Amino acid sequence: MARFSDFPPTIESLPNDLLIEVLAKVAAFSFTDLVQAKLATKEFLEASSHGYIFQHASLRNFQKLLWNNNPEFWSFMEKCNNNGNPETLYQKGMLEFFTYCREASGMAYLKLSAQKGYSEACYVYGIILYTASSEDEGVKFLKICEAKLGFKLAECRRRVKELVRYLWVKNKISLSKKDSSDQRGCESVVKNCCKKNVRRIGWDGNDEDDYYGEHTCEACKWNEEVSRFCNMLRTGSYDML
């Protein structure tokens, strides 16, 4: 009868595909756990350079890692981006656009992530396009985000705000005065009906998904969404007091 010690050690006996799958699961949880796993065995270290892992890795503690300037972190992020990881493409895009003011580069990263269906990227990319006078294209991406989230934008706003809190936002985009005061393209037949609906306060606290209600037209809804995002960049809050 085989004794327990006769069995080969488990990790060494795993096929490479399975090792990669295990590491991808670890990486999807956190970058720091992946670093620990790589140190654990030679097999993990060898399997850890597979593109599939970078494609699925998550930098959930990105905010903390962001400013410690660890070269290993940046090299890891670069590999994730080269492997088309939607989450890191979004994070890189946010940094490029809002912190380093490299708008073209930031938009390129955000677009790549949005095209892969990453909801926060669709949201921010849509908003930036909207403020850059490409309203139709912007609304198209905002609607993709909304549809992906089952019309629940509150969670997306919360996550975007959380990331923005850790960025040093130097590029504070805004809607031009004409846009925010004219309620561009209001489709409501009742004058000022939409304005009344969207002027309630306390959005941050309540995080209402159906904030706009059925009486706010699409045009006013997106105008308000963009306007509140721009406000959040400045004040840290979606609420406009």
Which residues make up the interface to Zn ion (CB under 5 A)? 186, 188, 194, 217, 220
* Least CB distance to Zn ion at residue 181 (A): 13
Return the number of other C-beta atoms located less than 10 Å from residue 49's C-beta: 12
Q: How far is the CB of 142 from Zn ion (least distance, A)?
A: 16
Nearer to Zn ion, 30 or 188 (CB): 188
Nearer to Zn ion, 27 or 194 (CB): 194
**Looking at beta carbons only, is 120 or 224 nearer to Zn ion?**
224
- Nearer to Zn ion (CB atom), residue 142 or residue 186: 186
Q: How far is the CB of 154 from Zn ion (least distance, A)?
A: 21
Smallest separation, CB 70 to Zn ion (Å): 48
Closer of 87 and 146 to Zn ion (Cβ): 146
Q: For residues 238 and 241, what is the distance between their CA atoms, to the nearest angstrom?
A: 9
Is 27 or 217 the residue whose CB approaches Zn ion more closely?
A: 217
Smallest separation, CB 185 to Zn ion (Å): 8
102-111: long-range contacts at Cβ-Cβ below 8 A with a sequence spacing of 24 or more?
Answer: 103/171, 109/81
The answer to whether the CB of 16 falls within 8 A of the CB of 48 is no
The three-state secondary structure class of 164 is helix
As given in the structure block, the two tokens for residue 28 are 């999807």
Q: How far is the CB of 225 from Zn ion (least distance, A)?
A: 13
